[in-house]
Amino acid sequence: MKFSDLGLSVELEQTVNQLGYAVPTPIQEQAIPQILRGRDLFGCAQTGTGKTASFILPMIDVLQGSRSKVRMPRSIVLEPTRELAAQVLESFEAYGKDHKLKAALLVGGESMVDQEKHLKRGVDVLIATPGRLLDLFERGQILLADVKILVIDEADRMLDMGFIPDVDRIVATLPKMRQTVLFSATMPSEIKKLAQAYLINPKEIIIAPTTRTAATVTQHIVRVEGTRKREVLRQILNMQNNSGPIIIFCNRKRDISVLTLSLKKHGFDAGSLHGDMAQSQRNQTLEDFKSGKVMILVASDVAARGLDVDGLSLVVNFDVPMNAEDYVHRIGRTGRAGKAGVAITLVSHQDEKYLAGVQAFIQQEIPVMILEGAPSKKEGSFNKEGKSQAKPLSKVKEKMDDTHRRHPQKKKNEAQESIANGADAAFLPKPDKIKPQRHSKKPYRQTEEAPSEQRIGFGADVPAFMLKSVALKLS
């Protein structure tokens, strides 16, 4: 199917063309015509499937033609986190660049005064987290009587974060005559109930990735004593020297601050991101990370969903996430847009029980990587010229659990294939004599280099799993 088959305006077809989107993704193929027709929709799809465009593009066409009134938004997109809300705004600006529609972000932690100013000017699309939207509504700053389209994105995440009562209150204040679109990455019974409560005769779409984890992400675990995690992490980072940006996920917020300080102390260029930080700090850190100013982001699960950072080559789980599904979201920050990525999870004795949960959830055993030799005592492993003294890549041995059963030639073929696909050789099955093409970008220490350009879209490289879809039946 082509974008021209979906019923979008010519202007939007041109925009997606300019963005390099060759064909619509399955969620776009199915959702766009329904939203254009004004039908309610229940979509089960994860971030990374092109979900944002599937509702923003038709929304732009539906809203085009009439204007918003002061304090009366014509559509609302609810997001669970401020970062996701900001990302949806970015997409809206990219897709709606040739339209005169106005969007505003209403998220907690930012100045209410500025947000009120936006509302006074009139807003077509309000992208909000539920708490702040309610705050402003209760202060009489927003009138919701003109809302024609409501999008509830990442509904299961809203449920996990305890936002559903707020969402309920918002929905209760909206006009009955409206179009509602609800997206959720998973479908627990609570979400099905929500869909029944909020939607009228919805079109149901489920986009099931063939595997829960993308084939473009090479996964490993490294078994390590809890007290040695930082040391082993530094060893991994030194091996990865001169590659793209990295996210390190921690389970506890206090570990994030301690780890960031420790990395900085050892000469790494790291920043923190977690929910207890002031919004201005969160924005600054994310901006620095996205622009390449900071190369290592140490984060909580606030960064696990939806964040799209160009060229992110490695995700490290400093701890195994307690919630198995978070593992999928965390490692999904890499291997995006058809590019190869690597995910390494540090597993201590305490993490083992969570690892079992993760492996059961993804229905796959994650190969064990053995790092040879203890990390150098002189941490940072950089000499005076800034050159890495870490062990050469060839010394990095990976031991797949079934290595002894695999044919050596097959193993080599697999390695060659992965390299051809752009995977980072440092983490591939033992590279032997194969010389990988590394995508050298910027070392993790601060340099004066200009930020790398943001790539939008897959071009012709849409991953195969995105091209499959199955129909959903709600019980």
Summarize as ranges the residues that interact with ligand AMP (CB under 6 A): 21, 24-25, 28, 47-53, 306, 308, 337, 456-458, 462
Give the C-alpha separation, 28 to 48, whole Å.
12
Please state the closest distance from residue 91 (CB atom) to ligand AMP, in A: 7
Judged by beta carbon, residue 94 or residue 187, the one nearer ligand AMP is: 94
Q: What's at 144, amino acid-wise?
A: L
Edge-to-edge strands, sheet with 246-249: 270-273, 296-299, 246-249, 314-317, 341-347, 217-223, 368-370, 397-399
Give the C-alpha separation, 303 to 319, whole Å.
15
Please state the closest distance from residue 459 (CB atom) to ligand AMP, in A: 7
Judged by beta carbon, residue 79 or residue 308, the one nearer ligand AMP is: 308
Judged by beta carbon, residue 382 or residue 458, the one nearer ligand AMP is: 458
For 189, what's the count of Cα atoms within 13 Å in the CB-facing half-sphere? 0
Judged by beta carbon, residue 28 or residue 272, the one nearer ligand AMP is: 28
Please state the closest distance from residue 306 (CB atom) to ligand AMP, in A: 6
Nearest-CA neighbor of 456 among 26, 1, 52?
52
Please state the closest distance from residue 158 (CB atom) to ligand AMP, in A: 17
Give the C-alpha separation, 129 to 108, whole Å.
7
Judged by beta carbon, residue 438 or residue 455, the one nearer ligand AMP is: 455
Give the C-alpha separation, 313 to 222, whole Å.
18
CA-based torsion, 259, 265, 268, 271: positive or negative: positive
Per 3-state DSSP, the chain is made up of helix, strand and coil in percentages (nearest 5) of: 40, 15, 45
Cβ-based neighbour number of residue 238 at 10 Å: 21
Judged by beta carbon, residue 52 or residue 300, the one nearer ligand AMP is: 52
Cβ-based neighbour number of residue 340 at 10 Å: 22
Please state the closest distance from residue 27 (CB atom) to ligand AMP, in A: 8
Please state the closest distance from residue 45 (CB atom) to ligand AMP, in A: 8
Judged by beta carbon, residue 49 or residue 334, the one nearer ligand AMP is: 49
Please state the closest distance from residue 307 (CB atom) to ligand AMP, in A: 9
CA angle, 333 then 339 then 342, to 5°:
55
